[in-house]
Amino acid sequence: DTEVTQTPKHLVMGMTNKKSLKCEQHMGHRAMYWYKQKAKKPPELMFVYSYEKLSINESVPSRFSPECPNSSLLNLHLHALQPEDSALYLCASSQGLAGPGGAYEQYFGPGTRLTVT
Amino acid sequence: SQQGEEDPQALSIQEGENATMNCSYKTSINNLQWYRQNSGRGLVHLILIRSNEREKHSGRLRVTLDTSKKSSSLLITASRAADTASYFCATDANSGYALNFGKGTSLLVTP
């Protein structure tokens, strides 16, 4: 199984709502990522988890709260979002964190299209 | 921060023609990857080339890397309508922990 799944596919939420995005992989990968992608732009890294621990937080506002309950699951909790947070949210996984000189390809899910009204 | 810059931003060709996309980056890298993204979908890994490699092939794909010029190219031969997508180069960043994506090239292949 080389698939990363994300739910929901689409989400519309108000600025006062609390919602969660979910991501799952069963490839035994130990690194998982959240990216944000605006229309016609490249993905921008938000968070990186390695062995269920947060490794990188790219100065993301606290209204985005990641959680890694186990090695297969990654959640992104959303609260008090702004309309400018509307975007495609992509989850990805890789075997691990490559470190200097190394490299792992990343496997991406199809994304959650988020609209904040 | 984005490190790669793809060129051209958009490319339109006919089926059967070759498509060449270029990527330039600013700082030293350990490896460079190319990804494809169909409209509004997730990214698919195409090929990874390490800094000590100059050329790599995968099916109809050919990737070159020139570290002296800090540039890479992706060649798709005998293109098909199904190749219509956005193509991104991505370089390693944060000591290899994560990817910095370029702005992407939007490829349209018409029958």
Given an 8 Å threshold on Cβ–Cβ distance, is A41 in contact with B103?
yes
* C-alpha pair distances (Å), A111 with each of A54, A55, B17, B101: 21, 22, 31, 17
Q: Are A68 and A78 in contact (CB under 8 A)?
A: no
Q: Are A113 and B40 in contact (CB under 8 A)?
A: yes
Amino acid at B110: T
pLDDT class of B1 with cuts at 50, 70, 90: very low
Q: Please confirm whether the linkage preceding B111 is cis (ω < 30° from 0).
A: no
Closest CA to B88 of B109, B111, B63, B70: B63
* Of A42, A99, A108, Cβ closest to residue B102: A42
What's the residue count for chain A?
A: 117
Which two structure tokens, joined as six digits, stand for B108?
């349209």
Side-chain half-sphere exposure of B62, counting CA atoms within 13 A = 10
Q: Are A76 and A21 in contact (CB under 8 A)?
A: yes
pLDDT at residue A101, as a whole number? 61
Query: Which residues in chain A have their CB less than 8 angstroms from residue B96's CB?
Result: 97-103
* Digitized pLDDT (tens) for each residue of chain A, 117 residues in all: 669 999 999 999 999 999 999 999 999 999 999 999 999 899 999 999 988 898 878 889 999 999 999 999 999 999 999 999 999 999 999 998 776 666 788 999 999 999 999
Residue B81 Cα to chain centre, angstroms: 18
Tell the burial category of A23 from Cβ atoms under 10 Å away from its Cβ (0-12, 13-18, 19+). buried
Q: Please report, to the nearest 10 degrees, the dihedral formed by the alpha carbons of residues B90, B96, B97, B101 taken in order.
A: -10
| Pairwise CA distance, residues A26 & A18, whole Å | 27
Closest CA to A105 of B54, B47, B27, B100: B47
> For the segment B29-66, what is each residue's pLDDT rounded down to a tens digit?
888 999 999 987 889 999 999 989 999 999 999 999 99
Given an 8 Å threshold on Cβ–Cβ distance, is A90 in contact with B42?
yes
Query: Which residues in chain B have their CB less than 8 angstroms from residue A89's CB?
Result: none
For A57, the 3-state DSSP assignment is strand
> Which residues 34-93 in chain B show a CB within 8 A of chain A?
35, 40-45, 48, 50, 88, 92
